[in-house]
Structure 1
């Protein structure tokens, strides 16, 4: 299938339309009083069923290598320095240890990371109406990465939109609709269901690797806000993308990151941003299957709004 590019400017969402969309997906997601958001859509039975999908036992990372070089999409890169024996000199005999120190901007535009439910503030509140007053200079008190401290395990599903369109990647500014998500299901012979960990490839990482990085603040491919109705109807547990899931420029009047608002604030979906699927796609094609057991283990950062992450697909 080859489709015409879909640019944000060609399918705008007004402020009133966005408010209605926010209300609809929130209602369909049916947030509880004291829950883990959409992660509660995953049941132990579904985890066992996902484990039964393992065939070859091959494991594949969906994380991009951590960037330590400055670039147009990464002005504040991870800082990695060696400490210990390397700094003091390596002796010819006896025991020494090489050590490291790492500091990074978790929510940057290059490194793979998880957004916790306290990451998005919209109209003064967090997900499920939780007051944003719990966000302090010392950390967050509610809806933190700690909600996922036992890990996120379930059936992963990868929908490959460039494959559907017959192109290597979506160009910056293009978006994915709900109809395309459904079409990708059909083309890949599967169905996204309740509790699934949904990953949507737009080809961001391949484009970056082949053409070089660019300023993603102004231009990137992602989901159209209306595509979130597909996720709400299917009651998925998590959304991950190889961009940051939002299109730029924004499709929505007055909201720069509408997918983030709908996913995190309205639906309670943890987001995984800036993954890479270039290692996984050829394996899925070779095995002719696009679902797999998926294991995600965020760092135990009890007051943080996000975490570096390395999702693993087990086929």
Structure 2
């Protein structure tokens, strides 16, 4: 395993510094201001090119099982109710086992995708859409329905703990743009325009080995300045095995700076709390960190997000 000396870490951002960064990324992502945001870069030609990543036909899920038990990071777990009639299995004839689900899509445990209407910042949604378009009845614009035809493209996994020679990043640690560039070099892969970028911080591995904790208060993630890397490469989607944002926040007055920059300024659909513990060993064994990726959010026309199960096809 390659090792990479841990730098002192990116500095905290003042409110003024964050505003400068926000405006710079907003300007650089002007091409992604339509209803589909950065998904506009997933042209038919790029989707077709991504199919050439398939060599073995092996498929790997990037989602964790939906959790129905409460925990420190999941006080409102999904509710799963079974309905089996009749309960006496000796009764003859046809019967059905049925169930229903209810969940908090944007929690700190279950894998989900954030729509472009998820972040309201300074009174607007992505692209200057009025925040009033999101009401208790649903989102009138930029809902997850934007991705109703699926998100298909070349996925790239950058494994930062592998780069640093550790099993996971500790809560509060930051992934910098230099980390992403160094991971590319170490893994012999290059993030290109239209790619679906996945960044592993090891959140899931730490959780499985040490137990759940209050991830809302302490978690590893990207430093806001790392979004410069994504803007330069014009990626289409960002996914992480944590929340993508570090906690505590590195930015004065903004609790989720990466969400603000990625969704609001750059038009990126975010996927939070994925898991890469199945994919990373396969990539390591095969010596390649890119793959075809297929993402199919539920068709929830007015929703700010959806449970998600991305599939890597190698």
Per the TM superposition, whether the score is higher than 0.5 is: yes
Aligned partners of 1:265 and 1:43: how far apart in 2? 22
Aligned partners of 2:17 and 2:124: how far apart in 1? 20
Whether contact under 8 Å (2:33, 2:126) holds in the other structure is no
Alignment gaps of 5+ in structure 1: none
Q: 1:71-90 maps to which residues of 2 (within 5 A)?
A: 71-85=71-85, 88-90=87-89
Q: 1:93-242 maps to which residues of 2 (within 5 A)?
A: 93-242=92-241
TM-score, with length taken from structure 2: 0.97
* Residues 261-301 of structure 1: per-residue CA shift (max 9 Å, x gap): 00000000000000000000110011100000000000000
Alignment gaps of 5+ in structure 2: none
Aligned partners of 1:103 and 1:302: how far apart in 2? 17
Q: Report what 1:49 is aligned to.
A: 49
Aligned partners of 1:281 and 1:159: how far apart in 2? 9
Aligned partners of 2:236 and 2:89: how far apart in 1? 49
Aligned partners of 1:175 and 1:313: how far apart in 2? 26
Residues matched between the structures, number: 312
* Residues 195-235 of structure 1: per-residue CA shift (max 9 Å, x gap): 00000000000000000000011100000000000000100
Whether contact under 8 Å (1:31, 1:267) holds in the other structure is no
* Residues 179-210 of structure 1: per-residue CA shift (max 9 Å, x gap): 11000001110110000000000000000000
Task: Tell me how far 1:6 sits from its aligned partner.
Answer: 5.5
SS in 2 for 1:272: strand
TM-score, with length taken from structure 1: 0.97
Task: Tell me how far 1:42 sits from its aligned partner.
Answer: 1.1
- Please tell me the root mean square deviation across aligned C-alpha atoms, in Å: 1.2
Task: Tell me how far 1:4 sits from its aligned partner.
Answer: 2.5
Whether contact under 8 Å (2:114, 2:304) holds in the other structure is yes
Aligned partners of 1:90 and 1:40: how far apart in 2? 53
* Residues 26-84 of structure 1: per-residue CA shift (max 9 Å, x gap): 11111456430000011111111110110010000000111111000000000101014
Task: Tell me how far 1:93 sits from its aligned partner.
Answer: 1.4
Question: Runs of 4 or more off by more than 4 Å in structure 1?
Answer: none
Q: Report what 1:258 is aligned to.
A: 257
1:284 and 2:283 are equivalent in the alignment:
yes
Aligned partners of 2:94 and 2:5: how far apart in 1? 61
